[in-house]
A and B are shown apart, each in its own frame.
Chain A
């Protein structure tokens, strides 16, 4: 399968703990995006990378959130000192430069903070 892969699919953690999610984009895609989706809402943009450079961050991305894409391939999203309000579906998407609007999404990581 050559789609966008996200791990883990589900994560349950206690408030105050750190969590890390991984995203493997479609191999030839040079843009990678992170979105967050809460119940009853559409996906909300968090940040994106072009190759290894992080080019944009949403104001939703607080200081507790950090994303990396060290070699321009897979990406990680870390949330430090999790809060109950961080509970959401975290979606990763990738695209090609020139067709960036056509994002290909992974199945997401569902985070529950207790």
Chain B
């Protein structure tokens, strides 16, 4: 059962426009959410995070929005640049104890077209 869902396997956006990547979750115990970016042949790298007590976090061109009632978060990239082409993973941490690792979605492959 996928507790973190990224329903779009791929997304194509024109350079300079906004990229919006979506993520849904089912576990109400998740209290911290992160986005990771992955280039081919490299490990994921941390991009931005948000605590469940907030609804927005911004870092430069990247903004993450959290809608707890909908169990939905999104990553906005403005403006999109060619170097943003990568696979983006949504991840979540449970406050309920148990495994201290993160639960990842399957990823969305973002393609920035020139």
Contact for A100 among B45, B89, B100, CB less than 8 A: B100
Point out the residues of chain A lying under 8 angstroms from B101, CB to CB: 33, 35, 45-46, 48, 56, 58
Assess whether A40 is interfacial by the CB under 8 Å rule. Answer: yes
Q: Are B104 and A108 in contact (CB under 8 A)?
A: no
CA distance A33 to B103 in the complex (A): 13
Q: Are B99 and A107 in contact (CB under 8 A)?
A: no
Q: Are B42 and A107 in contact (CB under 8 A)?
A: yes
Mask, B76-114, CB within 8 Å of A = 1, is 000000000000010101000011111111110000000
- Interface contacts (Cβ under 8 Å), in number, total 59
8 sample A-B contacts, Cβ–Cβ < 8 Å, listed by A number: A4-B43, A42-B107, A45-B102, A46-B101, A48-B99, A56-B100, A100-B100, A101-B102
Contact for A103 among B41, B42, B102, B107, CB less than 8 A: B102
Point out the residues of chain A lying under 8 angstroms from B6, CB to CB: 42
Mask, A69-112, CB within 8 Å of B = 1, is 00000000000000000000001010000001111111110000
Assess whether B34 is interfacial by the CB under 8 Å rule. Answer: yes
Q: Are A106 and B32 in contact (CB under 8 A)?
A: no
Point out the residues of chain A lying under 8 angstroms from B45, CB to CB: 104-105
Q: Are A40 and B46 in contact (CB under 8 A)?
A: no
Q: Are A44 and B104 in contact (CB under 8 A)?
A: yes
Assess whether B4 is interfacial by the CB under 8 Å rule. Answer: yes
Point out the residues of chain B lying under 8 angstroms from A58, CB to CB: 99, 101
Closest-CB distance, A41 to chain B (whole angstroms): 6
Knowing that A48-B100, A107-B42, A107-B43 touch, tell me 15 more A-B residue pairs with CB under 8 angstroms: A33-B101, A41-B106, A42-B4, A42-B104, A42-B105, A43-B44, A45-B101, A45-B103, A56-B98, A56-B101, A58-B99, A58-B101, A93-B43, A101-B49, A103-B46
From A42, A101, A102, residue with most partner B Cβ within 10 Å? A42
